Amino acid sequence: MVATIQRNLILGQSVIRLRIPADPEQVLQEAVEGTEAGNRYVDPYWGLLWDAAPRTAERILRHPWQNGLRSLELGCGVGLTGIAGLIAGLDVTFTDLVPAAVEMAISNARDNGFQNAQGHVLDWCSPTNTTFPFIFASDVLYDLQNHDPLLNVLSRMLTPDGMVWIGDAGRANAPIFLEKAKAIGWMIELSDIDGRILSQPSHVSFQLITMTRPNGA
């Protein structure tokens, strides 16, 4: 079992309590041992609070959502942005490839008062047939190998008129993902932490990527 420590994050008027792995090296070692044992590669960094997560959570908290909007979080990690979604009134389903991440995200959601929080393990290469009008994620563009599976799951699990939000810390691989998404028909809008529209991808600073299909195609 992974030992945890508690962190309290103040985002606007909300305080989010999170249990996160106390020793990231333990999580990394367990991932390495699992891979050596023949299991499929598992992201060893799911237990970290990545740079874009608090900022993505802030944007979610400030947006005027339709109450109860069915929403899917991809790569939930410890659940920060998904919990922000619950606070903002979204009906969030937490997902991650790592079972321990889903378990921790749901536990954290319940610790923040959301006793009915739901989630499941999701492989982006094998999406389900369930669709959502809003899908969101943060810090998922750092690895080029994830780009095609991510586009796959977005294409399969977003409703035709739905919207995607991806929070990104201005990583070098983000423009590659954006060009690939545009090439297959996605419409892209970029904005900063305050919602100001960006004319080009950010470099080493937060950007929110909004993706939609043209005419709800």
Question: What domain count does the chain have?
Answer: 1
pLDDT in tens, 7-19: 999 999 999 999 9
Residue 189 lies in a domain: yes
32-54 pLDDT, tens digit per residue, is 555 444 455 566 678 888 899 99
pTM: 0.92
Answer yes or no: is 4 within a domain. no
* Residues 110 and 98 sit within 8 Å (Cβ to Cβ): no
9 found inside a domain: no
pLDDT at 140: 95
- Rounded Cα gap, residues 53 and 212, in angstroms: 21
pLDDT of residue 46: 83
Say if 194 falls within a structural domain. yes
Number of Cβ atoms within 10 Å of the Cβ of 140: 23
Q: What is the tens place of the pLDDT at every residue in 96-147?
A: 999 989 999 999 999 999 999 999 999 999 999 999 999 999 999 999 999 9
The verdict on residue 108 lying in a domain is yes
pLDDT digits 0-9 by tens, 148-199:
999 999 999 999 999 999 999 999 999 999 999 999 999 999 999 999 999 9
11 within a domain of the structure (yes/no): no
d(Cα 106, Cα 102) in Å, to the nearest integer?
Answer: 6
Give the distance from CA 39 to its chain's centroid.
23
Tokens of 205: 């600073």
The pLDDT score that the predictor gives to residue 146 is 94
| Domain annotation covers residue 1 | no
Residue 212 sits in which domain range? Answer: 47-216
| CATH classification at residue 63 | 3.40.50.150
Residue 30: inside a domain: no
